[in-house]
Amino acid sequence: MSGANQSSVSEFLLLGLSRQPQQQQLLFVLFLSMYLATVLGNLLILLAISTDARLHTPMYFFLSNLSFVDVCFSSTTVPKMLANHVLGSQAISFSGCLTQMYFVFLFVDMDNFLLAVMAYDRFVAVCHPLHYTTKMTRQLCVLMVAGSWIVGNLNVLLHTLLMAQLSFCGDNAIPHFFCDVTPLLKLSCSDTHLNEMMILTEGALVMIAPFVCILVSYVFIAGAVLRVPSLGGRWKAFSTCGSHLAVVSLFYGTIIAVYFNPSSSHSAERDTAATVLYTVVTPLLNPFIYSLRNRDLKGALRRVVGQKPFPA
């Protein structure tokens, strides 16, 4: 069935976000700035956490894992888009496209799993503060992070292999800035039912399970916070969870809007805007939302940036 037409498309065209040259210039500057800010912000956090022994706790280990994943996440899409703009090209090879898809969704999964692990960490810290150190052991942390990488890779491998089975024979223009699943499925001339079914079942499960963990953690956290007698204490507990909650809502809101909508109500522009949010803006905002309200991390960042490079 497949194979006959396989060779007729050897590359795809990434049409990008706009066809008007002036808008393209503007988007280039915008995406370049957002990319540099993402890399810089997340690297600063990695550096601050690794150099400050007081930040060697599970919460900060997970946060530095998240920063690492966010740098990788932006790096799978934005540099290719910027390079194509500079080179005046829209091409991406067939294997390049599948590779890009693999890593985009690996890092989406990782963001997803790490946000759930961080929610569990907050749940233990707020609801079982006395058992925190005995529950969140080094082994458990490493196990949760390693497990996330393994499950993420297996999940993405499944969907990438299913995509590699498809034939693409006519149109090869992707009206997007990276190789996303939905536009690729639309371009394929084979039967995509199996792919769609797997996305809506296994793919959805991998997305929804961590989301449910986060919701359950927050139900318990909310219960514990409401039992705090003083208003000041409640606010303090809420403000650290509020940043996590903001990141979580931004991330899941956009993903649900893009991938789990009935296709009849899809609007290409709205989808693209939502994709830009979760692929470019979320990794940019994560370090800022998460850390700038945190006094310990701010102190470590100040030391890294070197307000006092030569302490007396």
Shortest distance in whole angstroms from residue 145 CB to ligand NAG: 4
Q: Which residue stretch of 58-66, 120-128, 262-270, 303-311 sits at the interface with ligand NAG (rule: CB under 6 A)?
A: 58-66
d(CA 48, CA 62): 14
- What are the structure tokens assigned to 73, written together? 């996440």
Shortest distance in whole angstroms from residue 152 CB to ligand NAG: 14
Burial class (CB in 10 A: 0-12, 13-18, 19+), 311: exposed
Distances (CA, A) of 156 to 112, 173, 307: 13, 23, 43
Q: How many residues bind ligand NAG (CB under 6 A)?
A: 7
Listed residue (183, 193, 174) closest to 258, CA to CA: 183
d(CA 243, CA 264): 34
Q: Is 61 in the site for ligand NAG (CB under 6 A)?
A: yes
List strand residue ranges (DSSP E) for 81-134, in order.
91-93
Nearest CB to ligand NAG, comparing residues 61 and 251: 61
Nearest CB to ligand NAG, comparing residues 42 and 279: 42
Q: Is 141 in the site for ligand NAG (CB under 6 A)?
A: yes
Distances (CA, A) of 64 to 35, 57, 200, 211, 235: 18, 11, 31, 20, 25
Q: Which of 28, 43, 68, 158 binds ligand NAG (CB under 6 A)?
A: 68
Q: Which of residues 163-222 bind ligand NAG (CB under 6 A)?
A: none
- What are the structure tokens assigned to 62, written together? 């997970």
- What are the structure tokens assigned to 38, written together? 């993402």
Q: Is 72 in the site for ligand NAG (CB under 6 A)?
A: no
Shortest distance in whole angstroms from residue 155 CB to ligand NAG: 20
Sign of torsion over alpha carbons 224, 236, 62, 248: positive
The phi and psi torsions of 179 (rounded to 5 degrees) equal -80, 95
CB count within 10 Å of CB 239 equals 11
Shortest distance in whole angstroms from residue 49 CB to ligand NAG: 7
Shortest distance in whole angstroms from residue 65 CB to ligand NAG: 4
Nearest CB to ligand NAG, comparing residues 104 and 117: 117
Residues 6+ apart with CB under 8 A from 274: 254, 257, 258
Shortest distance in whole angstroms from residue 61 CB to ligand NAG: 3
d(CA 277, CA 291): 20
Nearest CB to ligand NAG, comparing residues 145 and 162: 145
Q: Which residue stretch of 104-112, 139-147, 148-156, 274-282 sits at the interface with ligand NAG (rule: CB under 6 A)?
A: 139-147
Shortest distance in whole angstroms from residue 107 CB to ligand NAG: 14
Q: Is 65 in the site for ligand NAG (CB under 6 A)?
A: yes
Q: Is 142 in the site for ligand NAG (CB under 6 A)?
A: yes
Strand order in the sheet with 173-174: 91-93, 11-14, 173-174
Nearest CB to ligand NAG, comparing residues 106 and 274: 106
Shortest distance in whole angstroms from residue 104 CB to ligand NAG: 20
Q: Which of 145, 162, 228, 250 binds ligand NAG (CB under 6 A)?
A: 145
Contacts to ligand NAG by CB under 6 A: 61, 64-65, 68, 141-142, 145
